[in-house]
Amino acid sequence: MQTRVLPLEPNPAPAVALAAELLRAGEVAAFPTETVYGLGANGLNEEAVAKIFAAKGRPSDNPLILHIAKTEEIFPLVSEFPEKARKLAEAFWPGPLTLVLPKSAAVPSIVTAGLDTVAVRFPKSDIARALISSCGFPIAAPSANASGRPSPTRAEHVLADLDGKIPLILDGGACEVGLESTVLTLTPKPTLLRPGLVTREMIEGVLNEPVAVHAAVLAEANGDAPSPGMRHTHYAPSAEVYVVSGETLEAMAEKIRRRCAEFERIGRKCAIFATEQTQTFYFSKNYVIMGNRNNPESICARLFALLRGAEGAGFDVIFIEAVKAEGAGLAFMNRALRSAGFKFI
């Protein structure tokens, strides 16, 4: 299969129309959202959804998110829409929040991997919304990477992973958020399954009650992953990745420099993912600036692209600086730790 990459600039309409035509015909297509690129198919068509799993090499026990373009489009997909969900939808939709609710009979079990709940998201991206609206059905879409690779934040990343396996990629440039949406379940109580840029603190502000964080967010899941699919390795780059913390920024940088020197002595090429606040500590080392610590969103936005870049540049070992696991920093730490296979120094 030949994979076409169509630019959305200057006029997105023809490219979006072509993607909608493919999805209506039961095919898949990759498209940008504000978080990461998604690989979409008709979420009510089992055969079409099966093509997503095949193209990504995704294990069939990892459920997908259904994307809608109006809040009321959730009603046919769920058997309950509690008051808390209504409040959250009002506060954060459209945007990077996915709600997990009891599913209705309309949702095929291939989408939910046999679970009795379904994940639903109303994205903010104009392109994603135009595509969903023009299809007239919910679009099932996981991140458009090959299973086990970092989520794609540019069309080039999708092409690198899925060239020849999907017919179309809509190229909308870099995604604004750069990390996948927050996944929140409401039963039995509000619990973050995957942190994102709609933060725990923001959700608590709207619900006026504490929100739990699933144990698998900052530690390796054993038997108790929030969905069977979350037990699988995520964001595993080919380089060896470590997340490094310290009492002070200086102490953290000192640890990184020391480990770096040890690896370099045995001929391994090391990259350091630093921040604006720490760059001066790494003179003469290979470092990149992820963003500003006082603005964790800026760090989130670049993490996945930098992981892919460091691999492409042939680095064997990557040291990622830890940040405070609160606000958007929790989302960052979750993805950094997963890419490191939870190797934390």
For Mg ion, the closer of residues 146 and 206 by Cβ is 146
SS3 209: coil
Query: Which phi-psi region, left, alpha or beta, contains residue 330 (left: φ > 0; alpha: ψ -120 to 50)?
Result: alpha
State how far the Cα of 22 lies from the Cα of 40, in Å rounded to an integer: 10
State how far the Cα of 283 lies from the Cα of 280, in Å rounded to an integer: 6
Using CB under 6 A as the binding rule, whether residue 119 contacts ligand TXA is answered as yes
Quote the radius of gyration of the chain (alpha carbons, Å).
20
Which does residue 118 touch among ligand TXA, Mg ion, none (CB within 5 to 8 A, set by kind)? ligand TXA
Interface residue with Mg ion among 143, 185, 191, 275 (CB under 5 A) is: 143
Contact 86, 79 (CB under 8 A): no
Residues in a beta bridge with 5:
169
Query: Tokens 């089992």 belong to which residue?
Result: 46
The CB-of-40 to ligand TXA minimum distance in angstroms stands at 8
Residues in a beta bridge with 99:
120, 184
Please give the residues from 28 up to 57 whose contact with ligand TXA meets the rule CB under 6 A: 33, 35-36, 38
State how far the Cα of 345 lies from the Cα of 260, in Å rounded to an integer: 13
Using CB under 5 A as the binding rule, whether residue 42 contacts Mg ion is answered as no
Which does residue 62 touch among Mg ion, ligand TXA, none (CB within 5 to 8 A, set by kind)? ligand TXA
Query: Tokens 């023009």 belong to which residue?
Result: 134
For ligand TXA, the closer of residues 121 and 257 by Cβ is 121
Please give the residues from 180 up to 199 whose contact with ligand TXA meets the rule CB under 6 A: 180-181, 183, 193-194
Binding piece for Mg ion, criterion CB under 5 A, among 138-146, 198-206, 211-219, 273-281: 138-146
Which does residue 36 touch among ligand TXA, Mg ion, none (CB within 5 to 8 A, set by kind)? ligand TXA
81-to-41, 118, 163, 225, 259 alpha-carbon distances in Å: 24, 12, 39, 24, 50
Torsion of CA 185, 48, 124, 155, to 10 degrees: 120
CB within 8 Å of 137: residues ≥ 6 apart = 42, 43, 44, 45
Binding piece for ligand TXA, criterion CB under 6 A, among 58-66, 275-283, 313-321, 332-340: 58-66
Using CB under 6 A as the binding rule, whether residue 338 contacts ligand TXA is answered as no
Q: What is the DSSP letter of 279?
A: G
Which does residue 244 touch among Mg ion, ligand TXA, none (CB within 5 to 8 A, set by kind)? none
For ligand TXA, the closer of residues 235 and 281 by Cβ is 235
Which does residue 275 touch among Mg ion, ligand TXA, none (CB within 5 to 8 A, set by kind)? none
For Mg ion, the closer of residues 220 and 326 by Cβ is 220
Which residues of the chain form contacts with ligand TXA (CB under 6 A)?
33, 35-36, 38, 62-65, 96, 98, 100, 112, 115, 117-119, 121, 123, 141-143, 180-181, 183, 193-194, 226-227, 229-230
Which residues of the chain form contacts with Mg ion (CB under 5 A)?
142-143
